[in-house]
Structure 1
Amino acid sequence: MTEAPPELTAQLAHWRTAALAFDEAENFAAEWAWASLEEYLGITLRSYLARVTGRLRETGDALAADLRDAQDEAQLVLLRRRVLAFRQRVLQSEMVLDFYGDAVNTRTSPRLAALLSACDLLAAQSMTRVLTPLGHPVPPVLAYLDKGAGASVLRAGLRLWDAGAPSPVAAIKVVRHSLPLPTALLHESGHQVAHITGWTAELAQALAAEVGTAGPAAVWPDWASEIAADVFAFAHTGYAALAGLQEVLAGDVRAVFRYPLGDPHPIPYLRVLFGATLCRTAYGAGPWDGLAESWVRGYPLAEAPGAAREVIESSMTSLTQLAELCLLAPRRAFGGRSLAALVDPADVRPDALGRLEVEARKGRDRSVHWIWQECVRLLALAGWRVATTPGRASEFSATHEGWMLRTGAGARVAA
């Protein structure tokens, strides 16, 4: 038997000790932040983290045993490689644990914990309306706060940096400026739904059939994932989704006509006009027409670079057909139904939101249960009112934030 070199034994001991520190979830997020999660979400996430550290412990124990039993130099050479691979696995696992710990730790106060819990519920309810009728389980949602202009999602079911078990939750980034009116949250839950149902690939085929495979407009199928998410957010929140999207995409001329090859996002100029077309398709004339006119005046198409201008010009006459195709056409992903059949945009048309507002003013919003049931439509109501009554934007944002606080606080108490 060949004795293992002390430095190799010490190296393994170091990384095994490092992995043992991963056992405590509080090493990555404060105990209070963990406690602020709803029970099912906290259990799901802690169980996942325990599996990550359990695999490391088993690998480290096996390596230690093999190192003790090494018979010759050839085995030691293989063990050195395995120890280096174990070190890499520990570091990759730490990235996973840090990501979730940092996400949980953004719930730094009771207020933020309540707002983010409300975001969890908003995203989960939007997914439930599509996934449950189709027989798909709804993944837990972990909303977390971060800087920047736009939201993002780390989808449930994806394998993370440690190449281990797939992520058990949909982790959705919510940026600070949109937290009181997080319509972008539903764009991200739309990505998750599209991933689970296979909607994106089917939509790409339909878009290709509509615009063809040649000419500037043939790029639309490459945008299918982002278009699907935009349409999903629109179906749930109507004009509020467009108003929020326009706020994020507005910028200088270069930004609005940005068209890098391979980008899955539509050209911002087109993306806003497509959103206005979705509104017209579902509701007819309305304030979205004024938004679209202002958008076109503010960004003269003559200032667009050549390639972007060609795509825009070749797409403009097809926007209505594309909107109908995305919203109203039946899809295998939806069990032969259209998205609008599962999530009717009429539920958030302006007159329906007006009736919802009357109910809230009559005191229905004193019931946390009612707010839970209507939370997605209340988001649509607040976003619509902010967009159409800008002089009272602060008032309506504050009202919606109050609804979110009651929703999130109630969810944690119920858990």
Structure 2
Amino acid sequence: MFDLQSAVGSQTDRQVAHWVLAAWRLNLDDLASQEAWSHLEQYLGISLRRHLQGTIDSLMSDARVLTTMNDEARSPTARAEVRHRLLAFRRQYLRSETTLDFFADAIGVRTNRHIAGLLRACDTLAHRSMAQLLDQLGKTAPVALTYLDKGLGASILKAGLRLWDGGKACPVAVIKVTRHNLLRPTALIHEAGHQVAHITHWNDELTAVLATGLRQAGAKGELAEIWAGWASEIAADGFAFAHTGFASLAALHDVLAGDQSMVFRFSPGDPHPISYLRVLLGAAMCRHCYGEGPWDALALSWTDLHPLQNAPTETRAIVADSMPLLNAVVRLVLDAPMRAFAGRPLRALIPPERVSPAALNELDSTIGPALFTSAHWLWTEPLRILSLTGLQLAVRPHDVKAILERQEQAMLRLGGALQTA
């Protein structure tokens, strides 16, 4: 006959040993190759390694406590406490593993030198877009780690938030870049805008500004509150527009141009505006800052290919009532002074005029091919280079291959995978 307490204790001992040893085997150098780590900028690699080592160290501290408790447990009450602690440790191990594996996947793709160069360029673009605004406010822009993944849209895990392991706040903004848009990553700047809005508390302020401003502009019923609920995505769209102009709208259009159900989808509580309105809002931003231009043709095509009469009844009413308000939304996003920006509007901090078609074409004609090969220009104007090629892709679709090749070469040079002039 087996002694019950000995039998239970034996099973607990084995499980404690298993999970503690599993934790001991976690090692940063096993997550990704040294080559992949080497393709991170030094300050990014140091910051990220320090954070991930902290995740492992915290888990190991819990492992030592669990081991000591198990070794010293004698009474049934103490053994029960060990089993309770074991289950908690196992859950924490799995949460920590999720965090580590996420970064292993994000870093591991950089084993390929070509992709590593493109992603290092994306790191720079994201960080530079944040720093251009935050530096003016005396705030520090977090370093950015971009990674490649499938799907239509980009996404972000914002710096300053706790991840799955529940440990210290992550010091790095981790941004997903989709494969199909790797060479025109204006969505990257949209995601960086989410980070800036988080740091400056712009979202809450814009929510209130939209609700009040649109009621004053004549919004019917709950329409002002609906638009206010979209504030976080509108803010990120405004940030991307200020940095990259029409290029951001053209890329957004191509992502949102799905079937009618996607274009007219309205989900209460979803922070994303109805796609039909979101594209037209981007065109209104261009018109507000630049006058007439290719965005008008884009908007005309959009409304023709997606007739409003095809929308569900509720969506059709929201869209129809919103159309007269688009210019008011643009002014509130771009021109309204914000406490988040020390009493200045977004447009004063990041002037969209710098990426107007006229300004970008002048940049291209004045500097010429050196714009895409010179270390000086690649470092000082990476966002305007992205804006220029994005504009060219939008208005010269038959030259897409050559334009993308030029953008790719620029990004590889910016990311250190090609020699600059």
Could you list the runs of 4 or more consecutive aligned residues of structure 1 that deviate by over 4 angstroms after TM superposition?
410-413
Does the alignment pair 1:7 with 2:14?
Answer: no
Does the alignment pair 1:107 with 2:114?
Answer: no
The answer to whether the 8 A contact 1:19-1:57 is kept is yes
Corresponding residue for 1:19? 23
Does the alignment pair 1:302 with 2:309?
Answer: yes
Corresponding residue for 1:40? 43
Specify which of 388, 408, 413 is matched with residue 406 of structure 1.
Answer: 413
Corresponding residue for 1:274? 281
CA-CA distance at 1:364 after TM superposition? 4.3
Corresponding residue for 1:93? 96
1:171-202 deviation line (CA, Å, top 9, x unaligned):
10000010011010000000010111100010
The answer to whether the 8 A contact 1:150-1:175 is kept is yes
- Aligned counterparts, 1:8-407, within 5 A: 8-22=12-26, 24-212=27-215, 214-361=221-368, 363-407=370-414
SS at match of 2:23: helix
Aligned AA (2:77): A
Aligned AA (1:264): P
Distance in 1 between residues matched to 2:263 and 2:339, nearest whole Å: 34
Distance in 2 between residues matched to 1:124 and 1:410, nearest whole Å: 19
CA-CA distance at 1:21 after TM superposition? 1.5
The answer to whether the 8 A contact 1:181-1:401 is kept is no
1:31-66 deviation line (CA, Å, top 9, x unaligned):
211111111111111111110010111111112112
1:147-193 deviation line (CA, Å, top 9, x unaligned):
01110001111111111111221110000010011010000000010
Judged with a 3 Å threshold, the aligned counterparts in structure 2 of structure 1 residues 192 and 411 are, in CA distance, closer, same or farther, namely farther
SS at match of 1:260: coil
CA-CA distance at 1:356 after TM superposition? 1.3
CA-CA distance at 1:411 after TM superposition? 10
69-78 or 56-65, which deviates more? 69-78
1:100-135 deviation line (CA, Å, top 9, x unaligned):
010011223111000000000000000001111112
SS at match of 1:330: coil
SS at match of 1:107: helix
Q: Gaps spanning 5+ residues in structure 2: where? A: none
CA-CA distance at 1:227 after TM superposition? 0.4
260-269 or 229-238, which deviates more? 260-269
Distance in 2 between residues matched to 1:216 and 1:45, nearest whole Å: 43
TM-score (norm 2): 0.94
Distance in 1 between residues matched to 2:224 and 2:99, nearest whole Å: 40
363-372 or 259-268, which deviates more? 363-372
Q: Gaps spanning 5+ residues in structure 1: where? A: none
What percent of counterpart residues are identical? 47
RMSD over equivalenced CA pairs, Å: 1.7
CA-CA distance at 1:214 after TM superposition? 2.8
The answer to whether the 8 A contact 1:222-1:264 is kept is yes
SS at match of 2:25: helix
SS at match of 2:285: helix
TM-score (norm 1): 0.96
CA-CA distance at 1:78 after TM superposition? 1.3
Distance in 2 between residues matched to 1:218 and 1:74, nearest whole Å: 55
